[in-house]
Amino acid sequence: GAVVSQHPSRVICKSGTSVKIECRSLDFQATTMFWYRQFPKQSLMLMATSNEGSKATYEQGVEKDKFLINHASLTLSTLTVTSAHPEDSSFYICSAKKGITEAFFGQGTRLTVV
Amino acid sequence: AQSVAQPEDQVNVAEGNPLTVKCTYSVSGNPYLFWYVQYPNRGLQFLLKYITGDNLVKGSYGFEAEFNKSQTSFHLKKPSALVSDSALYFCAVRSPRNMLTFGGGTRLMVKP
């Protein structure tokens, strides 16, 4: 199957700082990438959908200015959590797909804001 | 709006016994259904999908799922469970916008 790499796998940042998470499709060009957030012992909640070269589509309740998504190329999407607060601590997972194929998921990033 | 329900938070099974993880769905139109597995602190791994065709879908690691349109179910099954199958399992349905809606997840515990 296709490989999606997410970096970093773990990050600890201070409250008020920003942190960037990268999602790369290693062996295919992803027309669409998705960002999910997963709270402990809960399911994945879709945050936003991004298509290469266009603005991301955010789900209701997700702050666009706080969770900046950039999909600059067909193999890279980034999620920047701006002015992070402890309540932003979570497990963030990206997925990527090409055309109508199933989505492939990154390994996730555990963000801890202290 | 589409939705997915996984009625069991946890399923316990002895190694070597068959396992079933339940999933029901609600969609308008034809359902595109998926099962994913998640190991601790890892992303999701694709197990199998149903798009069309045979109601019994075979996937990775010996798992299979049975699509039942009348019961709107897509239960995940395996004839003989392994301890290494212990993980979190998610059922999902894909929307016409190509977004996945996930069930709440079911933790499978396989005991030796």
Q: Measured between CB atoms, does A107 come within 8 Å of chain B?
A: yes
Which pLDDT score, from 0 to 100, does residue B99 have? Answer: 76
Confidence class of residue A1 from pLDDT cuts 50, 70 and 90? Answer: low
Which pLDDT score, from 0 to 100, does residue A88 have? Answer: 95
Q: Measured between CB atoms, does A104 come within 8 Å of chain B?
A: yes
Residues on B contacting A at a C-beta cutoff of 8 Å: 34, 36, 41-46, 49, 90, 97-105
Reported as type and span, the H/E element at residue B39 is none
Q: For residues B50 and B99, which has the higher predicted lDDT (pLDDT)? A: B50
| CA distance linking residue A42 with residue A36, whole number of Å | 12
| CA distance linking residue B12 with residue A22, whole number of Å | 36
Which pLDDT score, from 0 to 100, does residue B96 have? Answer: 73
Rounded average pLDDT over A52-70: 90
Cβ–Cβ below 8 Å for A93 and B49: no
Task: Give the pLDDT confidence of A15-33 residue by residue, as tens digits.
Answer: 999 999 999 999 888 888 9
Mutate to test the interface with B, among A79, A105, A111 (most CBs of B within 10 A): A105
Rounded average pLDDT over B39-67: 90
Please give the share of chain A, as a percent, with pLDDT higher than 90: 61
